[in-house]
Amino acid sequence: RKEVEQDPGPFNVPEGATVAFNCTYSNSASQSFFWYRQDCRKEPKLLMSVYSSGNEDGRFTAQLNRASQYISLLIRDSKLSDSATYLCVVNSLEGYSTLTFGKGTMLLVSP
């Protein structure tokens, strides 16, 4: 069974801190990887895709390690508005290529 595992947290950090989340996936056929952000009682929103060479979007850096089957998200200079649940998502090209969502890691940034 395809699975995506995340530490549920919560991760409690002060403003300005750097925080990192990891996610592991079990399906070695996974080809596409994403991080989504979900605010309380809202829909998930795409934060960033994760590319093989790693990629950065402002304060956010995503890394992929195919050999160990894990994905990471690094947030630098945390803001209060970064408080949310971060979902790790993988896609397999097997079958109908549905996305598999992790249950999320909760981040709480405090003043």
Partner 1 sequence: DVKVTQSSRYLVKRTGEKVFLECVQDMDHENMFWYRQDPGLGLRLIYFSYDVKMKEKGDIPEGYSVSREKKERFSLILESASTNQTSMYLCASRSVSYEQYFGPGTRLTVT
If one asks whether residue 21 binds partner 1 (CB under 8 A), the answer comes out as: no
One of 104, 105, 106, 109 touching partner 1 (CB under 8 A): 104
Alpha-carbon distance of 1 to 7, in angstroms, equals 19
The two tokens of residue 39 are: 């605010």
Of the ranges 20-28, 40-48, 52-60, 71-79, which one interacts with partner 1 (CB under 8 A)? Answer: 40-48
If one asks whether residue 26 binds partner 1 (CB under 8 A), the answer comes out as: no
Alpha-carbon distance of 109 to 81, in angstroms, equals 8
Asked whether the beta carbons of 23 and 5 are under 8 A apart, the reply is yes
Binding site for partner 1 (CB under 8 A): 32, 34, 41-46, 49, 87, 89, 91, 96-99, 101-104
